[in-house]
Structure 1
Amino acid sequence: MIQRPVLGAACIVALAPFAAAQSFQYSDFNSTAGLQLVERAAGSGAILRVHDQAAPQGAGNRGAAWFGSPVSVANGFDTTFVFNINQGGSASGGGDGMAFVIQNDLVAGDTGGVGLSGIGRHASAIGYGIFPTSNPGESIDNSLAIEIDTFLNSNQPAAAPIMDPDGNHISIHTGGSGENDQREDWSIGRAPNSALGGVNMSDGQDHTVRVHYVPGTLDVYLDGVMVLSTSYSFSTGGTHIDTGNAVGGLNLIGGTSAYVGFTGSSGSSVENHDVISWTFDSAGPGGNYCTANVNSSGAAASMSAMSSLSIATNDTVLTSTGMPNLAFGFFITSQTQGFVMNPAGSAGNLCLAGGIGRYVGPGQIQNSGTIGSISLSIDLNQIPTPTGLVQASAGQTWNFQAWFRDASMGVPTSNFSDGLSLTFTN
């Protein structure tokens, strides 16, 4: 099921000249509405099968799935997806892997289109890259790809050896605004098998990846543990780690946005590349403050909002990501910021003071599901306080935080996200 805010981000941008966060959430893929599916990608029951092991050998052995609208990435984003790579169908194990890709593909190649039709080559190219014999445009150009690479391609092909470190690694590849390439000398950050804490990413089990970007830094988590952090900016780019060469940023749509989604492929060694759930939140209005403690998911919960900040428009949606899975939680608010460490035995920090209101009305207490996230559309005419509901006024600043159930060393407790401060206008 897909759960979206009442107003799409494009509507918010049209209504007011404020930065707008964008968020979407697929708790499962019983419906693939809102996605553009390319070649082998298809819904399969409640999962999104980006690429399947029954795909024909050769150029068609690949798939891609894109969220159907560009999303803001330049100012920051936080995305989490659960994947399952399974049913390796050859004696040497499956291959070749899948990737989370951010792109504004502008060059159509012989074997793929642009934008929402973008797809790269198969086999070692993992659905985003290119072969030495490829014509221009056959990769997903103008892209950043975070590989989940499950097959060792070492010193082949001779013309342009890939030089994978092993057959179980995560690597971030970009060619700036030009072609992208699966060769490891195009990597700006890598977590080899030895850095994955014993996780076999193609063992047929569900695994969770979180990608968190703030301008200048890109972090990747696997099953709640940060395995990779690299310096990168969509405006200025980064550095290819094997060569030390600088690589530029991306040519983003409107300077801020791109398409996001998944690619996957196989060669002679095949496997299914499945996505179980997916949530995405981009940085939006307001400012985060106060440090959240790491919770039992291995991450610290983070607040974001989607809003024009206009009281008349009344379109504010709060989101908390990075929570434990299947945890009940709700949002709290106050006009006063504060800091209380471990209130009432909580494992987190309370970032509010003064009169604190709770969003605990019908439908407002939520479960974080399998993606560790909750969202709520709030009514600025009915903000909860200890003495009742009040209406926000222009110029007022309200602070928000998420409270949720957690566990510490197996003992039930609670925790908090960081705080988010929003100042509203007429």
Structure 2
Amino acid sequence: MNSTTLQALLAGVLLSVGSFGQSFTFMDFSASNGITLVGDAAFSPTSLFLTTGNSLETSAAWFTMPLGVVTGFDTQFDFQLFHDPAGLPAEGFAFVLQNAPEGASALGAGQSNLGYGGSANGIPNSLVIEVDTVMQPGLGDSSSNEISVHTAGPNPNLAAETVSVGRVTPSILMADGQPHTLRVVYVPGTLDIYLDALPQPVLSIPYDFGTGGTWSNSLPVPGLDLFEQTSLRVGFTGATSTIPNAVATEILQWSWTSTGGPAACFAGTVGASAGMPESVLTVNGDDGGFLRRVQVPTFQPLSLEIAQPSTMTAPSAFLVFGYAGEADGSHAISLPIGDFCFPAAVPFSPPGSYLIANSFGIPAPALVPSTLAPWNLLLTGGFPFETTATYQAVIQDFTAPFGLAISNAVIVDFVTAPPPVIQDVFPRSPAPGDLVTLIGEGFLTNYQITVDGIAVSPVLVSDGYVVFVYPPGVSCDAAVTVVRPDGQSASTTINPTPVITSVLSPSGSAQGGQTVILQGMDFVEGSTVTIGGVPAAVVSLTEFAVVVTTPPGTPGPAPIVLTTPYGCTVTETYTYL
């Protein structure tokens, strides 16, 4: 692509884009990209048939891409249930939210398990809203026109009402061959289910995807393990019995909105033509998950990475832009290749935006030089102040229109991290040249360490520990200090003066040969003991106790002096008799 065409595509105009969160609408299913069918599910020209009324059908239909649920969602679908008047409308269908290992190929057992349940192959890690049209006393059903919410937490789900967290028999008959509307609204902590035009929920359940809920037997059930801690795969399952007791389940329309999440433009369009969009822009290896947000402490390394799209067999040219602030999609640029989350253009960016790197070679000034993707920009010193920025790119993707695609966007919050904490130091009384380990948290990187004012260099580092070589000439009760570049620090004591808390057998014969036990702390191997200035034989020594044999002495009080190999002393009194 020549630079003139690229510049034209990026010339852009500012538009108001009000679609927040992940959302879609299938007014019908004539264009069904993004839905994966499993088992007996099939598309008609305008609808989705989970079951067609044949015997022993079992099916599922999943929206292929996981959708955000942790901050809330609002979904609605229209359905019709047909059956032979000579038989029963068996068995029914379910709306399912799941994060099973099988992903978009997940399918449970058939018949009364409705395609989601089963003790052996029920869909694990799922929450199910079932429309059950046959009463099964063995499962604990309360009617043949029941809406029930089932979950077994991370375990395989079951059709038995023992795992129901709420159920209702609505006044509206659902298997009457007429269109009905089911709406599910989740606000963290509450799940509301509406049927048709009824103004109030037919069922309202206390439930949270993180903490779970309560089964009908009053026992707690845990929440679900969410994809990237934010999302689940959503869709439908269904099953039939045998003719004439077989129901046809038709989904006519379906819409979904994840509430409270980022604007739709944050997903980008890279790889969208081959399936769901993929993340090629990351910050410190993180695309921000569902919320597209990453925290980076001030003064800490920042790495901005552009990966080569999986659809490309060769390195890709790109433009990566930054925006000074949090882009919310309300001023996105609508381009033929997708929506860009903030105003950006070449050769000159609008106020607030800036071109970071340009590997297309078009005449547009960038902050840093770049090569083709895969590429990364590393700022070892990070940002020296708190701020927020948003990053997004245009990158080559030959499967996309014009051979270009919009990358995912990432919001980065540069924040002051909590202060470091030193929880322990080992050993507390080291010899010069020994390796010393500081254990704690919040050390991060780019810090300085001093021991008694002497700068030392770490030999091993992590956020939870630091290892350095102990220097010579350290005084007693010296401070070892970790200072981060943001000015926050933590200190502890090293080479402490020993403490004697008690003396067992504090008096004895002036002829010597008595056993004396010094109890305390911070006693060090190699320490010496004198009594009245005369060396006492050290029989044994631990960190908390020293056993000595007294030398001969003169009747009366005599000082006991314990001296560590590093010159720290502590004194007590012994009395010769």
Q: TM-score, normalised by structure 2?
A: 0.43
Task: Give the C-alpha shift of residue 49 in structure 1.
Answer: 0.5
Residue correspondence of structure 1 range 349-364 to structure 2 within 5 A: none
1:143 paired residue number: 126
* Contact map agreement 1:311 1:424 (CA 8 A) in 2: no
Structure 2: runs of 5+ lacking an equivalent: 1-19, 264-289, 294-321, 332-338, 345-349, 354-386, 388-410, 414-577
* Contact map agreement 1:102 1:145 (CA 8 A) in 2: yes
1:347 paired residue number: none
Task: Give the C-alpha shift of residue 45 in structure 1.
Answer: 1.5
Matched, 1:40 2:13: no
Could you tell me how far apart the structure 1 residues matched to 2:292 and 2:165 are? 35
1:94 is matched by which residue type in structure 2?
Answer: P
Could you tell me how far apart the structure 2 residues matched to 1:315 and 1:52 are? 46
What are the superposed Cα offsets for residues 188-243 of structure 1, whole Å, 9 maximum, x if unpaired?
Answer: 01111xxx2x31111111111111111111010001321000011111110011x1
User: Structure 1 segments of 4 or more deviating over 3 A?
Assistant: 306-318, 377-382, 391-395
1:84 paired residue number: 80
2:251 paired residue number: 275
How many residues were matched structurally? 273
Which of 160, 170, 192 lines up with 1:219 in the alignment?
192
Report which of the two structures shows the higher radius of gyration computed on alpha carbons. Answer: 2
1:261 is matched by which residue type in structure 2?
Answer: G
2:109 is matched by which residue type in structure 1?
Answer: R
SS in 2 for 1:279: strand
* Contact map agreement 1:79 1:278 (CA 8 A) in 2: yes
User: Do the aligned partners of residues 52 and 381 (structure 1) sit closer, same or farther apart at CA in structure 2, a change above 3 Å counting?
Assistant: same
What are the superposed Cα offsets for residues 78-123 of structure 1, whole Å, 9 maximum, x if unpaired?
Answer: 111111111x1362321111110000113xxxxxxx1111111111
What are the superposed Cα offsets for residues 223-268 of structure 1, whole Å, 9 maximum, x if unpaired?
Answer: 1321000011111110011x11111111111111111000010113
Task: Give the C-alpha shift of residue 31 in structure 1.
Answer: 2.0
Q: TM-score, normalised by structure 1?
A: 0.58
What are the superposed Cα offsets for residues 37-85 of structure 1, whole Å, 9 maximum, x if unpaired?
Answer: 001111011001112212x43xxx2110000111111121111111111
* Contact map agreement 2:75 2:184 (CA 8 A) in 1: yes
1:183 paired residue number: 160
SS in 1 for 2:139: coil
* Contact map agreement 1:307 1:315 (CA 8 A) in 2: no
Could you tell me how far apart the structure 2 residues matched to 1:164 and 1:392 are? 62
User: Do the aligned partners of residues 279 and 312 (structure 1) sit closer, same or farther apart at CA in structure 2, a change above 3 Å counting?
Assistant: farther
Could you tell me how far apart the structure 2 residues matched to 1:181 and 1:217 are? 22
* Contact map agreement 1:285 1:307 (CA 8 A) in 2: yes
SS in 2 for 1:178: coil
Residue correspondence of structure 1 range 17-416 to structure 2 within 5 A: 21-54=21-54, 56-57=55-56, 61-86=57-82, 88-89=83-84, 91-106=86-101, 114-130=102-118, 134=119, 136=120, 138-154=121-137, 161-192=138-169, 196=170, 198-225=171-198, 226-241=201-216, 243-268=217-242, 269-285=245-261
Task: Give the C-alpha shift of residue 314 in structure 1.
Answer: 11
Could you tell me how far apart the structure 1 residues matched to 2:91 and 2:153 are? 23
User: Do the aligned partners of residues 99 and 312 (structure 1) sit closer, same or farther apart at CA in structure 2, a change above 3 Å counting?
Assistant: farther
Could you tell me how far apart the structure 2 residues matched to 1:257 and 1:379 are? 21
1:165 is matched by which residue type in structure 2?
Answer: S
Could you tell me how far apart the structure 1 residues matched to 2:163 and 2:134 are? 17
Could you tell me how far apart the structure 1 residues matched to 2:324 and 2:96 are? 37
Could you tell me how far apart the structure 1 residues matched to 2:166 and 2:181 are? 19
Could you tell me how far apart the structure 1 residues matched to 2:231 and 2:291 are? 17
Could you tell me how far apart the structure 1 residues matched to 2:247 and 2:324 are? 51
2:50 is matched by which residue type in structure 1?
Answer: V
Could you tell me how far apart the structure 2 residues matched to 1:199 and 1:188 are? 21
User: Do the aligned partners of residues 92 and 205 (structure 1) sit closer, same or farther apart at CA in structure 2, a change above 3 Å counting?
Assistant: same
Task: Give the C-alpha shift of residue 21 in structure 1.
Answer: 2.1
Structure 1: runs of 5+ lacking an equivalent: 1-19, 107-113, 155-160, 288-305, 319-332, 334-376, 383-390, 396-422
* Contact map agreement 2:324 2:352 (CA 8 A) in 1: no
**RMSD across aligned C-alpha pairs, in angstroms?**
3.4
